[in-house]
A and B are shown apart, each in its own frame.
Chain A
Amino acid sequence: MKTYDAAQVQSWFTRYLADFVDLPESAVTPDATFAALGFDSVDSVIISGAFEEAFDVEVDATLFLRNDDLRSLIEDLRASGLIA
């Protein structure tokens, strides 16, 4: 399985999420919750889809539901082995 480094994944997410909600990247801090950024459940699936395409993986259905901010999401991806 291909692995990525945490900084690369975090930077992709920060840029993508900022574009998604039309906010500056500085607003997407590791501790900002996805709910506070205004994502609903369909949004989180769309974000999963973009992540799948960018990193050529299929993500687990519950990834966004079991993680409510970027920090825990990155840790989760590390635990799953996608992030080295």
Chain B
Amino acid sequence: MAEATVAERSPMNPDFVGLMPGLMADPYPLFARLRAGPPVFWAPKEGAWVLHRHAEIEAVLSDRGFRVTELAEGVAEIGERTGKPTPILSGLLKTFLPFINPPDHDLARRYYRAVLSAGSMDGAAEAITALARDLLAEVPPGGRFDAVTGYAELLPPLVMAWFLGLPGSLIRDYALASAELGRVYDRGCSPRFLARMEAMLVAQRVPIQHEVAVRRAAGPDASTDGLSRMIALADELQPMTDHAIADHAMALIFAATENTAALIGNAVAALAEAGPQCDLSVADDATCLAAVREVLRFDAPVQQMWRVAQHEVMLSGARVAAGDRLLLLIGAAQRDPAIYSDPDQFDPLRFATGTRAWRSLSLGRGMHYCLGSELGMLEAAIALKLIARRKPRPDPAQAITRDDRSTLRRVRHLPLILIPERSDNHENI
């Protein structure tokens, strides 16, 4: 039976693999070539259907007949079979919304949504601005500055520390220690890698669980910070141990820092690489937010998503069977010429006029739409606005490098030269 089904899978692309090193460095030329072929094809090397156009990907993301792949299960199976169990990593992945399905998903989403509810963001813009300014104050005379290691990857942990009411150094250390954790979204992480992540999480959870215990002991009215709210909401919605709350806090921090760091880094890189004709040095908040939307289209952090079909379905000529896996090339859909004119052009003002609808898929769709999107985009817009005033340009003496990862596209080093801060900058913000 299985062989018959495989034989029926067409159209087929025998060579496609979504993890090729060249694809990670610059996936867009390949995406352009895929457009000349069928919109949905079977990739035997992936054991999955591959989708690359906006229309099919949007339809699949919006359809509850497709479930996400449950990473925790695969990681747990590897741990069992190799004798290197990773219960903390598996437990953390079970609280991670992009990789869990209903009913667990709905309960966890309700919880995170309550934690991130509107009132909790009061003062966020001011806090983010102050933190970003502090980071830019560290730019040395001469203006040479790595805008990833000195800015993009530091700001989101500091913002989460502000949100949760925890020491900035604690969250920064966790974010930097867990920087490699996102590789588990890519396929094939080895048992030694997973064991290394397990050991990292065991160590990193100690201080966070301690903070939970301190707040629990102090009682519900002792503090109003985000972590206290997580405890109070857990007691209200689904009573949890300190350990489980620490897991949820760690998942929240991880989700809120990694993608946002990637978004800020990709945004600043796009701006710097576009050259002087792309000048946002006097741009206002709305223009910077529009520019961030364009970055989510032009060079989205989340490049790939996976789904599993729950029932047989025809997708643009391909017969997808129940149980088949689908690889959604989000980065390709974001440059679909059927949706966007001149899609390979970075145009920070593309969404600034309000005449063009923003239909990004990079934050997901439907029930998996990113819960932290507003906070993440606010952080990125402020970060972009403040650094744009320093007219960043690439440092010709050093190369811009990107992570060799397929799911998350992220600048690793972004050496720039910034002009000195103008004394009137502060009044303009």
Contact = CB atoms under 8 A, between A and B. Distances in A.
Question: By DSSP majority rule, is chain A's interface helix, strand, loop, or mixed?
Answer: helix
Given A42-B77, A61-B187, A65-B19, A52 B192 contact: yes
Contacts of B224: none
A40 to B, nearest CB: 7
A17 B77 CA distance: 19
Nearest to B15: A68
A41 B19 CA distance: 13
A15 B84 CA distance: 23
B100 to A, nearest CB: 19
Interface string B34-57: 000000000011010000000000
B190 A65 contact: no
A49 to B, nearest CB: 3
A66 B45 CA distance: 9
Contacts of A3: none
Nearest to B184: A61
A35 B45 contact: yes
Contacts of B187: 41, 61-62, 65
A63 interface: yes
Which of A59, A63, A65 counts the most B-chain CB atoms under 10 A from its CB?
A65
A46 interface: yes
Question: By DSSP majority rule, is chain B's interface helix, strand, loop, or mixed?
Answer: loop
Contact of A49 (B19, B190, B406): B190
Contact of A58 (B78, B81, B192): B192
Contacts of B220: none
B189 interface: yes
Contact of A63 (B44, B82, B188, B192): B188
Interface residues of B, number: 24
A14 interface: no
A48 B19 contact: no
A49 B84 CA distance: 10
A44 interface: yes
Nearest to A51: B190
Interface string A24-52: 00000000000100001110111011101
Contacts of B20: 66
B45 A58 contact: no
Contacts of A68: 45
Interface of A: 35, 40-42, 44-46, 48-50, 52, 58-66, 68
Interface of B: 17, 19-21, 44-45, 47, 74, 77-78, 81-82, 84, 183, 186-193, 196, 406
Given A60-B190, A66-B20, 6 more contacts: A42-B74, A58-B190, A61-B187, A62-B21, A62-B188, A64-B188
